[in-house]
Amino acid sequence: MSRTTDTGAAPLDKTNTKLVSLLQQNARISNADLAKAVHLSPTPCLRRVKELEASGVITAYRAIVDRRKLGYGVRAFIGVTRDKNFDRRKLWHHMTVFPEIVGCYVVSGEFDLLLDVVAKDLDAYSNSLLEKILSVPGVLNVRSMFILREMMSNVPLPLES
C-alpha cells in the first residue's frame, strides 16, 4: 500500500518505507548494501534515495554522539513562560542563539516553550540559566526538569513495512 507524507510529497511505497527505515538505523550503509536489502539494483536504489531527499522526507544525515563522553554531564528540559505582551517570535529567535540549547519547541499547556539544554556541569547550567536564558526579554518564568536517566533517545520513527 502506498502512503504519502503530510505535504503530499514522495509516495512512501513499501520500498521507500524500507529505505527510510534502514537509513534511520544506519545512515552510513553503502548504496550497494541498501539496494540489496530492498531488492533493487544500485542505480534505482540511489535514485529513490535522492528523490526522498529532494522531497524533504529525508532532511539530513548526522552523527549521534554521546554527550557525556564529550563532557556534557547535565541535561535538562526548561519550561519557559513568556510575558504575553512580548512578541513570541522575538523570544523564539533569542533562544536559537545559545549553543547549549540543543532543542527548542513551541508547546501547548503550562509553558510556551520547552528547551532542551546541555551543560558541562551544574555550574555551567546555572550560568546558562541565570546569565543567558533568564536575561532574554519576554521570559517571565522558567521551570527546570533535570534528566536523571535517558531511557530512550534518538529512536527511529516507527514506519510500516
Question: How does pLDDT run across 107-126, given as a tens digit for each residue?
Answer: 999 999 999 999 999 999 99
- What pLDDT is stored for residue 154 in this prediction? 84
Contacts of 15 (CB under 8 A, 6+ apart): 38, 39, 40, 48
Note whether 77 and 52 are same-domain residues: no
Which CATH number do you get for residue 134?
A: 3.30.70.920
- Predicted confidence band of residue 3 (pLDDT cuts 50, 70, 90): very low
The angle subtended at Cα 47 by Cα 41 and Cα 48, nearest 5°, is: 90
Domain membership flag for residue 98: yes
Domain membership flag for residue 157: no
Q: Give this prediction's pTM.
A: 0.82
Domain membership flag for residue 159: no
Compute the distance between CA of residue 156 and CA of residue 159 in angstroms, rounded to an integer: 9
Q: Positive or negative, the Cα torsion across 155, 156, 160, 161?
A: negative
Compute the distance between CA of residue 124 and CA of residue 160 in angstroms, rounded to an integer: 42
Residue-range definition of the domain harbouring residue 1: 1-64
Could you give the 3-state DSSP secondary structure of residue 130?
helix
Is 103 in contact with 55 (CB distance < 8 Å)?
Answer: no
If we measure between CA atoms, which residue out of 77, 76, 94 comes closest to residue 138? 94
Domains contained in the chain, number: 2
Compute the distance between CA of residue 16 and CA of residue 14 in angstroms, rounded to an integer: 6
Give the domain-ending residue among 23, 47, 64: 64
Note whether 90 and 55 are same-domain residues: no
Which CATH number do you get for residue 7?
A: 1.10.10.10
Q: Which tens digit of pLDDT belongs to each residue from 5-60?
A: 455 554 589 999 999 999 999 999 999 999 999 999 999 999 999 999 999 999 99
Record the cell numbers describing residue 44, joined without a space: 534505482
Calculate the average pLDDT of the chain.
91
Note whether 113 and 142 are same-domain residues: yes
Q: Which tens digit of pLDDT belongs to each residue from 50-104?
A: 999 999 999 999 999 999 999 999 999 999 999 999 999 999 999 999 999 999 9
Beta bridge mates, 142:
80
